[in-house]
Amino acid sequence: MAESTVTPDQATQEPKTMERAMFGAGCFWGVEATFREVPGVVETAVGYSGGTTTNPTYRDVCSHTTGHAEVVQVDYDPSVVTYEQLLNIFWENHDPTQLNRQGPDVGDQYRSVIFYYSPEQQAEAEASKAALEAAHRYRRPIVTQIVPAPTFYRAEEYHQRYLEKRGLANCHI
């Protein structure tokens, strides 16, 4: 049996502490692709959250009867990328003034939403939104919801890394 080859440095290192964030900003394919590019983002998964149906399918969510949003769950290393930086990416990559839509995609599953996992994330998200509103960055009011993270339901496998699997950079034509 081979012996372990752990160096003294490795033996004393603390394991990295990962944190999790969850965002809804329209079609989850493009949102996931955007967050996957961020240094410090370790893993992403697309799915559904914020509704009433247990274990919904894509077809269920598209029926507008579940209340779920298309979301991206982001696992990240906070020593590399901060939650504030993730929030900035969220705001910059969609229109938070569109209610239940993003561009041509219409429906409650495309709503702008930040699901927070801690009081610290809640405070940062609310401060970030307030700063954008105070700066009058948008002509219309920001409609983004900031609510506690409910159960995340992972989407079907064909939705995971959808654009990457097809060699596409984004959803837009």
In the structure, how many helices (H) and strands (E) does the chain have?
A: 6, 8
User: What single-letter amino acid sits at 170?
Assistant: N
Give the strands of the sheet with 41-49, arranged side by side.
Answer: 145-148, 112-116, 19-25, 69-76, 41-49, 153-154
3-state secondary structure of 97: coil
27 is catalytic: yes
- Pick the catalytic residue: 21, 25, 27, 171? 27
The catalytic residues are 27
